[in-house]
Amino acid sequence: MSYRVGTGVDFHKLVEGRDLWIGGIKIPHHKGALGHSDADVLLHAICDAMLGAACLGDIGIHFPNTSQAYKDIDSKILLQKTVELIKKEGYALVNIDSTLCLETPIIKPFVMQMQQVISTITGLTTKDVSIKATTTEQMGFVGREEGLMAYATVLMQR
Ligand SMILES: [Zn+2]
């Protein structure tokens, strides 16, 4: 059995007039994430971590933001497609760890729902899908609520 680790990081701007999708869940907030897709920063970081572990490039190569096919797409579909890509290479996920960085809103009440969505798509148990959140203590672009970011680490086996 061989193990592979991958990391992913993603950023999106926060703007008025957009929905805020994080971890496959729509979160009530006065701002939403700007992007070509639904701009789900957490799912994108997880996709990139999985692609990285399989050495399959990054999310932009597989789902280009110049393609109309991915305009406003639900990132749960991108995660599903990424799971299929790594399965095709013979990999199985072991666990996911992730950290969200944003100033507001408080993410804790939504974490269990996010874990359920991600575990359903990936075939993992919710115990294998860790989602943490932190502010940046009001520093930088996250602190000014201009944007949000997410990091993910994924372990896979073949
Ligand atoms: Zn993204």
**Cross-strand bridge partners of residue 98:** 131, 152
Give residue 72's pLDDT. 87
Q: How far is the CA of 103 from the centre of ligand 1 (A)?
A: 18
Low-confidence ranges of the chain (pLDDT < 50): none
| pLDDT for 98 | 98
Ligand 1 centroid – CA 113 distance (Å): 20
How far does the centroid of ligand 1 lie from the alpha carbon of residue 27, in Å? Answer: 16
Token pair, residue 91, equals 């990999």
- What pLDDT score does 1 carry? 85
